[in-house]
Structure formats: C-alpha cells, structure tokens
Amino acid sequence: MKTTGLLADQFKSEEAARQYLESIRWPNGPVCPHCGNTEKIYRLEGKATRKGVLKCAKCRKQFTVTVDTLFADSHISLDKWLYATYLICSSKKGMSSHQLHRMLDVTYKSAWFMTHRIREAMKTPEYLTKLGGEGKFVEADETYWGNNDKQRKGARGADHKMKVVVLVERGGEARSFHVKDVTAKTLRDVLNEQASKESHLMTDEHKSYNKVGKEFADHSIVKHSMKQYVKGIAHINTAENFFSLLKRGLVGTFHHVGEQHLQKYTTEFDFRYNHRKENDSLRTDAALKGIEGKRLYYRD
Ligand SMILES: [Zn+2]
C-alpha cells in the first residue's frame, strides 16, 4: 500500500481511506470510543452491515473510525476527507473552499464545511508549554489586516483594522492570536500566557512592549527604520516571515476573511509552520490525529 504523496492509496477508495485512518487513529489496534476498551473488538463483516463497523465485546456497542471525530456524520466519502486534509496541509498559503470544491467535485457548501472542520483538526486545544526559555529567543510582532467593518468617521490609523499578534520561538513554534487591540495590556496578557520569562524577547519599537519587556530576561527592540542594517541576533525576521506568508494566504487564497473567522485561519498557518520540518504526508497525519474528540456543531 502506497501511503505517502499525492497518489497515495488512501485517496483512491473509501475502503483504503478507512484502513489508513484506522492506522492513524488506532496505531495499536482499535479502541472503543464508547468505553475505552481495547480488547475483543470485532469487525462486523456481514453483507447487511456497513463497511468499517466494529463491535466492542465489553459494552456491546458498535462504532467506526469516524465516531467521535470531526469526520463523523458526513455524507462525503472518507477518501475525499483525507485528500482534502492532504491538500490543505501541503499548501503553504492554504487552500480555499472554492478550489477544494473544484478539485474534489463536491459542492461549494460541502467544501466549506470540510475546510472548517480540517482547520479545527489543526488546532491545538490548549498550549501546555510556554514558548522560549533560558537562552532562547522569542520574537513578538503585530500586524493589521483588512477592515473589521466598524470604521467610524474620523477613525485613525489601524483602529478599523483586524489585529493579529504572533509569538515565534526562534527554531521552534509559532502561535498567533487575533486580538481586539494592541495595547500594552493585551500584549502583556498574550506574552504572559504563552512565553517563558526566561526568554530573550525581541520586538519592534511599538511602545506597548516596553513595560512587559522588562519582565523578560532580556528585551531587544528592533527599529523598523534601521532594520535592514541590523546584523546578528537582534531582529524579528522570523515573525515577519510568518506574517508575510499569512498575508499572502489571506490575500491570494482566501480573499475575504471576516473577523469571526480570522483566528481559525491564523491557527491553520500556525499548524503548518509548527510542522514545517515534516513532509506533506507526515504533516497530514498530524492533522488527522487532531480530528478525535472534537465536534463542530453544523452539518454538511
Ligand atoms: Zn466499548
């Protein structure tokens, strides 16, 4: 069975897709999603049964590999779900629902539900560790995007724009957040929650970083006007590169991202960034591992 790349078997038939997803979700054999039992689980193979149905001898309930996942209760075949996940995970700037609709021959509405569910799979429910640490660099940067439709007459500067803050540990993870403003309090809250105070913080000259910067082991401020001359460790190029890719995705791929969805898109870019060292197939596997235990309450 060929399991890597664009021409992998799991994209060619529902049966192969199911086998593949079972191997990702249950690497050590099936686990009953109802009672957690791992022993004496039988495959129901009568002609009258749906394919892929398993039965737990302990609680006597039936299940398939999509029970209790984001792919549950969908009329879209599993091979298309896996293929869509692969396409989104391997496209640096993301993939629009429109393109997925054309490529997979599903309705636009279905493609929209798929992309939103796959994005949910890419989400880390909760960050359990902090970025940075002793001897490590954490870059923080903020960017402005689009228009939140709340532009008042006489609004100045970035008031009416959507705002995103990213923290990137150099050589490590990126975490981006759609924030309501970029005041000292908001930035401090994000930094406090996500970054280790032992880190060396790198920011631009935005005043909101001044006070929280003092709480870190070190704080270097990069002056935008001087940036091109800066050599060595004092830079925020990693964060700026993250934003440049995000913006190319938001402009080139997604066109109009409303404020209510922006966080989901930035999370998608976090995911690809944080799995950048893996190949497309392994990155897809990582997303598939994220479908379990999550639900989105709308149907396709
Ligand atoms: Zn059970």
Residue 26 C-alpha to ligand 1 middle, in angstroms?
Answer: 14
Q: What is the pLDDT of residues 231-267, one digit of tens each?
A: 678 889 999 999 999 999 988 888 778 888 899 999 9
DSSP 121-188: HT--SS--S-B--TT-EEEEEEEEES--S-PPTT--TTTTSEEEEEEEETTS-EEEEEES---HHHHH
Tokens of 169: 């540990």
- Report which of residues 146 and 91 the model is more confident about: 91
Residue 33 C-alpha to ligand 1 middle, in angstroms?
Answer: 7
Residue 68 C-alpha to ligand 1 middle, in angstroms?
Answer: 13
Q: What is the mean pLDDT of residues 42-61?
A: 90
How far is it, in rounded angstroms, from Cα 219 to Cα 201? 5
Residue 28 C-alpha to ligand 1 middle, in angstroms?
Answer: 16
Residue 64 C-alpha to ligand 1 middle, in angstroms?
Answer: 12
Q: What is the pLDDT of residue 151?
A: 60
3-state helix, strand, coil in the chain (%, to 5): 40, 15, 45
Q: What is the pLDDT of residues 10-22, one digit of tens each?
A: 999 999 999 999 9
Q: What is the pLDDT of residues 141-194, one digit of tens each?
A: 999 987 766 666 556 667 788 999 999 999 999 999 999 999 999 999 999 999
228 falls in which pLDDT band (50, 70, 90)? low
Q: Which residue has the tokens 């957690």?
A: 36
Maximum average pLDDT range among 65-74, 79-88, 221-230: 79-88
Residue 124 C-alpha to ligand 1 middle, in angstroms?
Answer: 27
Inter-residue contact 192 to 130 (CB < 8 Å): no
Question: What's the chain's average pLDDT?
Answer: 91
Q: What is the pLDDT of residue 149?
A: 64
How far is it, in rounded angstroms, from Cα 23 to Cα 67? 15
- Strands laid side by side in the 54-56 sheet: 41-43, 54-56, 62-63
Residue 40 C-alpha to ligand 1 middle, in angstroms?
Answer: 9
